[in-house]
Amino acid sequence: MELIGLTPDITDVRVVRHEVLHLIFEDGLEGEVDLTGHLWGPVFERVRTPAGFAEVYVDEETGTITWPGDVDLAPDTLYVRVKSGKWPTGPYWPDGA
C-alpha cells in the first residue's frame, strides 16, 4: 500500500445512515465510509446504536471524527478508505475488506 505521508485533517462529517459517514478532508478529498462491522469492542458499544452513532463530530484538535467519551477512529485509515475504496491491511484491518 502506498504511504500517504501526513494525513490531511477531517474538516467535516455527516451521517448518511447508521454506520455510514460522509467525510471531507482538508485537501478536498471527500466520500463515504461504511463502518459496518468495523466498530468492535466495548469502547464502541454506544456508537453501535443509531443514537450513539449520530453523536459523531470532528475533533478540531486531533483532526479526526470522535464520539462522546473520547472514542475516535484514526484519520489515516479513513483517508485511505475514502481515497482507495479499500481498508488498509495490517493488524487492525487484517483482511483489508
What are phi and psi for residue 26, nearest 5 degrees? -65, -20
CATH number, domain at 57?
A: 3.30.2020.10
Q: Are strands 71-72 and 57-59 parallel, antiparallel or unpaired?
A: unpaired
51 within some domain: yes
What would the mean pLDDT of 9-28 be, rounded to a whole number?
Answer: 97
**87 and 81 Cβ atoms separated by less than 8 Å:** yes
6 within some domain: no
Q: How confident is the model at residue 3 (pLDDT cuts 50, 70, 90)?
A: very low
What are phi and psi for residue 78, nearest 5 degrees? -65, -40
38 within some domain: yes
Q: What percent of the chain has pLDDT over 90?
A: 71
Q: pLDDT tens-digit profile of 41-72? A: 999 999 999 999 999 999 999 999 999 999 99
Q: pTM of the entire structure?
A: 0.85
Within 1-97, residue ranges assigned H as helices are: 50-53, 75-84
